[in-house]
């Protein structure tokens, strides 16, 4: 006959008193091995869901009383007990116990101590930890997504206001990190404002897929009890109960979507951070970061290091990794809930905090940096930035663009070989390369003309950029005004 007795825990750290009784479970006779407790515990990170877990439990208790599954007295006792727990968590006195595995068991265990075993035991009527955690996570994602949207819009607002200060500051625009054409600094920073505007929209769109309440789905198949799922959905601010109980407990696609939006935004932040790193070098000298957003060297006293943007650039890798982590967790899971899904929390919590902090420090760095307008202007005075204008002058004279491009390419090679300023070429000099030139290079191409000539929507003309600034400012103010005052 097989030995079915529970073996005594063995191995490192598996001594007496290091394994705990289960909070519930007539199915089990023995104690959980201490190593299993350590391996499966999530309370060290899922305590971040405490506020949301208590909200969900209070709504569930009120619904149970409303449909007659618990008494009004039990409802009052449960609501009061949950309020006490909330106060203890708030003031730091709550006795979190790693042996109780997760936030849900910690709350229920403390509730037993406050209101008694029988009353506390009624709270889990018609509820599983599966729909409980899905509800907690949905509530958390709604809040952190709105907080992320606010942080993005606040950074966007800083970029817009700094752009407005530099409507007439000119610098080279780059492709392949090579000087390409002159642009306004306002136009450059508004490019990032556009990117972050899309990031903010992604957060708002994400929340439209957090409108259904999982609570009441049970472990996977709902409940035989007469639960009022519309009651709890409305109490928690959802539009409706989830339509399918299996989907409600098994899916984490909105969590993946949050991690994706966070990763995309962190990549955008990383690109902005990279420019601050480059622009603050002696080789560029376009900006100087405030002392509050820089550090010194432990050895070289002259150094002023752009550690803040460098760290933002580095932390984008964490956000990307967190997305890949959860994609790998979910990629082959059968329906419905599997314990693998416990691995969703840490990536989500980490990305939420990483994004929040990165947005805050980048907003501060942009707001306080000093722009070296003279250094930018000197770089923009590179005559080669006007080569495209020469080619377009030929196009206006009826020359096919490819032919014009070839001719101006020859002119550029000539100027480089002879160490000539492109603007010094006379009409006759230009006509040696193409007969259709009708004026000197200085008459055809100038820095002001290169900027003001681009009046197309999205171009660099002063009026066009000023209009874009005005629209961006109004759009950002409207979006911020539509948000609640929730914080991460």
Q: DSSP for 154-219?
A: HHHHHHHHHHHHTTT-EEEEEETTEEEEEEEHHHHHHHHHHHHHHHHHHHHHHHTT--EE-TT-TT
DSSP 8-state class, residue 426:
-
Q: What are 22-53's pLDDT values in tens digits?
A: 555 566 667 777 787 777 778 888 899 999 99
Domain 383-453 has CATH 1.10.40.30: yes
Q: End-to-end distance of the chain based on CA atoms, in angstroms?
A: 57
Q: Which residues of 194-204 are buried (b: 16+ CB within 10 A; e: fewer)?
A: ebbbebbebbe
Polymer length in residues for the chain: 488
Q: How many CB atoms lie within 10 A of CB 405?
A: 18
**Alpha carbon distance 330, 344 (integer Å):** 9
**Alpha carbon distance 145, 488 (integer Å):** 9
Strand-pair partners of 454: none
**Alpha carbon distance 172, 379 (integer Å):** 6
- Would you call the peptide bond into 331 cis, given omega within 30 degrees of 0 as the criterion? no
State residue 295's pLDDT score.
Answer: 87
Domain ranges of the chain: 34-125, 130-379+478-482, 383-453
- For 317-342, give the DSSP string: HHHHHHHHHHHHHHTTPPSS--GGGG
Residues 128, 133, 138, 142, CA torsion sign: positive
Q: Which residues of the chain have pLDDT under 50?
A: 1-21, 486-488
State residue 28's pLDDT score.
Answer: 63
State residue 2's pLDDT score.
Answer: 43
426, 440 Cβ separation under 8 angstroms: yes
State residue 34's pLDDT score.
Answer: 75
Q: What are 97-154's pLDDT values in tens digits?
A: 888 889 999 999 999 999 999 999 999 999 999 999 999 999 999 999 999 999 999 9
CATH of domain 130-379+478-482: 1.20.200.10
State residue 403's pLDDT score.
Answer: 97
- For 365-384, give the DSSP string: HHHHPEE-HHHHHHHHT-GG
Strand-pair partners of 241: 213
Q: How many CA atoms lie within 13 A of 76 on its CB side?
A: 3
Fold held by 34-125: Fumarase C; Chain B, domain 1 (1.10.275)
Active site residues: 176, 297
**Alpha carbon distance 355, 206 (integer Å):** 16
């Amino acid at each position: 006959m097989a030995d079915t007795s529970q073996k005594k825990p063995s191995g490192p750290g598996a001594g007496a008193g290091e394994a705990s009784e289960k909070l519930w479970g007539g199915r089990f006779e023995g104690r959980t091995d201490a190593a299993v407790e350590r391996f499966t515990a999530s309370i060290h990170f899922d305590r971040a869901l405490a506020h949301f877990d208590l909200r969900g439990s209070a709504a569930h208790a009120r619904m149970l009383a409303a449909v007659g599954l618990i008494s009004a007295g039990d409802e009052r006792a449960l609501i009061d007990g949950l309020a006490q727990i909330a106060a203890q968590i708030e003031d730091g006195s709550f006795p979190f116990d790693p042996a109780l595995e997760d936030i849900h068991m910690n709350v229920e265990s403390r509730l037993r101590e406050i209101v008694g075993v029988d009353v506390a035991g009624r709270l889990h009527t018609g509820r599983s930890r599966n729909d409980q955690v899905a509800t907690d996570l949905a509530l958390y994602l709604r809040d952190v997504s709105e907080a992320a949207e606010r942080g993005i819009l606040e950074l966007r607002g800083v970029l817009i206001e700094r752009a407005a200060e530099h409507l007439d500051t000119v610098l080279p625009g780059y492709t392949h990190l090579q000087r390409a054409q002159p642009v306004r600094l306002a136009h450059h920073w508004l490019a990032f404002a556009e990117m972050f505007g899309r990031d903010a929209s992604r957060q708002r769109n994400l929340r439209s897929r957090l409108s259904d309440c999982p609570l009441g789905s049970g472990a996977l198949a709902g409940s035989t009890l007469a639960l009022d799922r519309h009651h709890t959905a409305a109490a928690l601010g959802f539009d409706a109960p989830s339509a399918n109980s299996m989907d409600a407990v098994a899916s984490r696609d909105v969590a993946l979507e949050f991690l994706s939006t966070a990763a995309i935004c962190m990549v955008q932040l990383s690109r902005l951070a990279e420019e601050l790193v480059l622009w603050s070098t002696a080789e560029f000298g376009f900006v100087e970061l405030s002392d509050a957003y820089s550090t010194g060297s432990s050895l070289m006293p002259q150094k002023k290091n752009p550690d803040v943007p460098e760290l933002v650039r580095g932390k984008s890798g964490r956000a990307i990794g967190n997305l890949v982590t959860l994609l790998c967790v979910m990629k082959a899971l059968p329906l419905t809930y599997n314990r693998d899904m416990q691995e969703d929390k840490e990536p989500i919590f980490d990305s939420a905090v990483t994004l929040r902090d990165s947005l805050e420090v980048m907003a501060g760095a942009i707001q306080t940096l000093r722009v070296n307008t003279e250094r930018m202007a000197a770089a923009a005075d590179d005559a080669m930035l006007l080569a495209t204008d020469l080619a377009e002058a030929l196009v206006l004279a009826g020359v096919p663009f490819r032919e014009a491009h070839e001719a101006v390419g020859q002119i550029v090679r000539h100027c480089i070989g002879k160490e000539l300023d492109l603007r010094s070429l006379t009409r006759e000099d230009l006509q040696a390369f193409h007969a259709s030139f009708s004026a000197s290079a200085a008459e055809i191409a100038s820095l002001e003309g290169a900027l003001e000539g681009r009046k197309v929507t999205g171009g660099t003309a002063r009026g066009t950029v000023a209009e874009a600034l005005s629209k961006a400012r109004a759009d950002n103010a409207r979006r911020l005004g539509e948000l609640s005052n929730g914080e991460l």
